[in-house]
Each structure stands twice: as structure tokens, then as C-alpha cells.
Amino acid sequence: MSTKISALLITLNEEKNIKRFIDEASYADEIIIVDSFSTDKTEEIALQNPKVKFVKRKFDNFTNQRNYTLSLAENDWVTFFDADEELSSKLKEELIKKVNSNLQEVAFIAYHSFYFKNKKIKFSGQQNVRAVRLFRKSKCRYKEGLMVHELLECDGLVDDLEQKVKHHTFVNDVYYLDKLNSYSRLRAQELRFKNLKPTFYHYTIKPAYRFFNYFVMRLGFLDGKDGYTIAKLHAISVANRYKYLDEIYRKENQNLG
């Protein structure tokens, strides 16, 4: 008897990706989607598949949203891909093989191949991006207190998957900047909890360094115009992080007044 798998997903307005995700999750015995009250056709499309369990939860941060989704899974082995991540047939075969091999590992890491406007990005800091995408829920949980870049902590051995995930996160400039800005808003909340007050350094030096880091140190220039665009958008998102932080302080002062 094969080991059962739960495919988990958190969504917000993913009508362009949701059908592909569900179709690719054919390896799973159940599909659980926790949605942050999408305003597009995400729910309508998802519920066309009887295997899908669709739950709505107000989004507070990525860690809490993922841990809540994890709590709904009936099976111990789960996958937790993003809606804009594409799985090849070989990767799906590898997932099934791993969970049925009686291995000691409790989690597996997937490396990413990034695509910008359907063109593969070879550098720009994306060379070694990876994330745990297959794991046992009884052995792993997302670390509490992290609002943006969630961290999955596992009690046991972790290994790499051979097959890569195709990540279509760079659909276009506007889409990607919106995504970065959503992270920036959450990061601003984290910084507020730390009582950080933004200064000239945060508005100028940090964004400039982020551009230099992606375009030069992470070899973004080898990706040409796309590498420049990616570096620029990351720099803008850093500047916006402190802009959002300043907005938080101003709103607090207005409420006090």
C-alpha cells in the first residue's frame, strides 16, 4: 500500500496558477488550499476539483498561515509548493518514490529554476535558491515569530531532491514588485516590533547596496537587461520597506494625537 500525501497551498488571487497547481497535484491523496479571501476566481476554479478542501483564513503572516494549513492535513507526508511553482513529471515521480522508500529523512529540499517573463534566469542571486517542499508534518513546523521569510524547523535528517522546481515568480515588472512590496510591508511590521527608526541610511544606502548585491555580487549583470530589472526592483522594495515603516509610526502618532 502506497504512502498517502497531502498537497498544501496558501493562496491570494491565484486564478492564473490554481488550475495548473491542482492538476500537478495528482500525486496527492488530498489537496488543502487555505485562501486569504481572494477577489478573483481562485475559489471557483479550485472547487471544480472534488479532491480540494478549500478553507478561508484572514492572512496575518506567512508563518501562521502555513502552520494553520499544515494543521489541516490528514496525512503525515505533505508537500508545500507555491502556486507559481511548476512541477515536472519527473519531480512528481520523485516525490512519490521518496515517501515510499522507508528513508530516514523527514524532509526534502527542492532547488529552484527561476523564470522571468518565461525566460530562465541563471544568475541574479537565484542560482542556489532552495526550500523544503516535501516533509513529514509530525517532524517539521514553521518557526513562530517570523512574518516574512518563514523557516521550517525539522527534527531529523533533511536531504535534497534531484529534480528542480520551475518558479514563475517573475511574470512581469509590476507583478514582481507587488510581490516584493507585500514582503516589505510584513518586514516593516517586524522592524516596528524591534523599534527601529528609519534614517537617511535606510532610505538610500540600503537600497543602493541591495542593487549592487543583486546586479554585481550575485552576477545579475550576466542576465543582461532582466538582471538589471530584477536588481532595481529589489532595491525599490527595500526603500519601500522603510517607507511603510515610517507610515506605521505616523499612524501611531496620529492615533495618540
Helix (H) or strand (E) holding 138: none
pLDDT digits 0-9 by tens, 71-92: 999 999 999 999 999 999 999 9
> To the nearest whole percent, how much of the chain has pLDDT over 90?
81
What confidence tier does 174 reach under pLDDT thresholds 50, 70, 90? Answer: confident
CB 92 within 8 A of CB 162: no
* Residue ranges of E strands in 30-76: 30-35, 52-56
Q: Note whether 109 and 134 are within 8 A (CB).
A: no
Q: How far is CA 250 from CA 191, 244, 246, 255, in A?
A: 15, 10, 6, 9
Task: Give the mean pLDDT of 97-120.
Answer: 92
- CA-derived radius of gyration, the chain: 19
Task: Provide the pLDDT for residue 39.
Answer: 97
| pLDDT above 90: residue 206 | yes
Which single residue is written with the C-alpha cell 517573475?
170
- Residue 106 contacts residue 135 (beta carbons within 8 Å): yes
Query: Residue 102: what pLDDT?
Result: 80
**H or E stretch at 38:** none
Q: Are 244 and 183 in contact (CB under 8 A)?
A: no
Question: How confident is the prediction for the chain on average, in pLDDT?
Answer: 94
Nearest to 126 by CA among 213, 188, 207: 213
Question: For residue 177, what pLDDT band results from cuts at 50, 70 and 90?
Answer: confident
The proportion of the chain whose per-residue pLDDT surpasses 70, expressed as a percent, equals 100
Pick the closest to residue 40 from 74, 78, 12 (CA basis): 12
Identify the pLDDT of residue 123. 93
Closest CA to 169 of 137, 126, 208: 126
Q: pLDDT confidence of 150, banded at 50, 70, 90? A: confident
Q: Which helix (H) or strand (E) holds 85?
A: strand 85-86
Candidates 81, 73, 83, 76; CA nearest to 161 is 81
pLDDT at 241 over 90: yes
Q: Residue 128 above 90 pLDDT? A: no
pLDDT of amino acid 257: 62
Segment 109-117 mean pLDDT: 91
C-alpha cell at 172: 512581469
- Please, what are the domains in the chain? 5-169 (3.90.550.10), 172-256 (no CATH)
